[in-house]
Structure 1
């Protein structure tokens, strides 16, 4: 559906500079990313360490000469896709049509993950790829979707919208209420089966904050009962892979926290313009050597993991700071603010539930979860959620004005 919107707009639409309030912020963000990348290419102080050319993964679009440009193109395509969706979804009918197709594909993913997990647990039949964790005895679902955390993000992206329509069904939604409620249950099982600590905690936080603000007492009671039931059934898995894992991540120097330290060091050494979009991964090993020697018994093993796996700072915001500097971080915060402000004038309860809870809570969870993973500014579901949130704010603010 994302591709259909883009192709339709390319054929019939147009790219205008002042079409909506978020667009100027996105354009400024892209222009600065291009400027910082250009400065990184001409500044001798930002030259790549010589050993990056020997890394096995540093070839093709990930080569030192191409990686920055490829990430700049990814940012441009994300910005263009967001603009085209906002421009195309200009009526209430199109808004709900887009949500219906999104829910249709979302339900297909939920059913696939549920079938994948239940077949393995009940019958020992494996469909697709179930990814065992090297540090856990439990098996994490990934399937053909990719890394387990990416699957968790995809499942969270439509969960709150499904809850919103299950709580108060809208006449324009294709699916009966029992289907929506069944998909809520399937999504919960799917999210937990990924054992992604970042996404599970982010979803819980978003549900608590947005639910308290936008849901009624009855809906909150149902969610509380469901949450208690889920904790009762999966208490061992949740404790082991979420709370205990999170405690360990913040208590000791490990791969993730070491990458954060390296990213912050890169930022502080290049605080104004950064090292160029997509290029922090080339500088991280230099900073990680000191971390490895100081904190790890076998620093060679630690470094080989990073070099073999192409690790940028495993935090989208630290990564962005390291790559675009203070100005880039300020512009990113400004774009987030513009997206948030776009829904401020929605007042009717049914539209508030759909946009601010259904889309807004998913955006909140994504923004929080991005603290534990890199490159989240370019993922499709974040772009879709942001564009539909802005489109909903434009459409339904008209009725309240």
Structure 2
């Protein structure tokens, strides 16, 4: 077959890879019991697909074909290596007899496999940074280079984290299962935290030349959709709702030159109304649960912002009340800071400044640039120019993100002596 005739099928294989590879990998990990073996089998299966599908046509069930081919390739590879290591021969026999039921490769079992994979990558025995790296690599399919670029880390560092995580899973015999009903709440919290961290880094990058990293926020939203499709828990709905509502403002958050635009100055006609409608619907479902968790409360706050026609028309009293509830559910200095900003909008800048000063006086958030930026803004509104300048300079010394640096420098230049 000529290259021109083969090209359309190669495009089909590429499309199947994009849509199915993570599900196929999850099933192969279950069948073969090892991440590296499963990944090698996945790539061999797709390599075989390029050749065989071009010759024989697309199979009726590409996913099942890939799982079956990957499993066969793995077993065949073990048999070849068994000539040098007799123990592998027995392993190949075990895999052949224990993984020959094609009924276990249907959609229902594959969806279970995806859920198992997410929980395995986010197992509490793994360090948080390894949980994030494993989730992005194994569940989302990002390369080590893409993960490293997203978090401004060397690819070798990410690769090392993934290798160590896989070794930990293997050596500690971490089970490839969905947690029991008793253990599910704690384990689900770890999964949600990882998705939340991935989204936050995408929504507001910690450093670099761009305000956002759409690949990361997009992956987090995709993960959130997978999670509630497989496990429709209220907090999973709340997290997805929060991400959709925050992300709905994406087009309005930066100028054409990449400069930061604050919420109160954004063109709300640019907000994504479809995402807002979906997010609000999810919030309503999450808030109907007997117990309301922190992600659902954050989503409710985002929904109030999303539904307000302008910053001035925002129901700041409701937002402060929701922050009060959030402080009870998950107290933290950052939440206290966010509440202070809402109080300033409801009661005036002096009221908000008093809260921020109390937080900073305790030593909390001393190195958090947004705390000093918020303090600077309130001082500016109160015409406390010297205090505002000092706070802007402190925030500028702490931030590593270029759009935020330009914003702070512009605010400094606008201050009157």
Q: Same fold (TM over 0.5)?
A: no
Instruction: Give the TM-score normalised by the residue count of structure 1.
Output: 0.28
Which structure has the higher relative contact order (CA within 8 Å, separation 6+)? 1
Flag the structure with larger Rg.
2
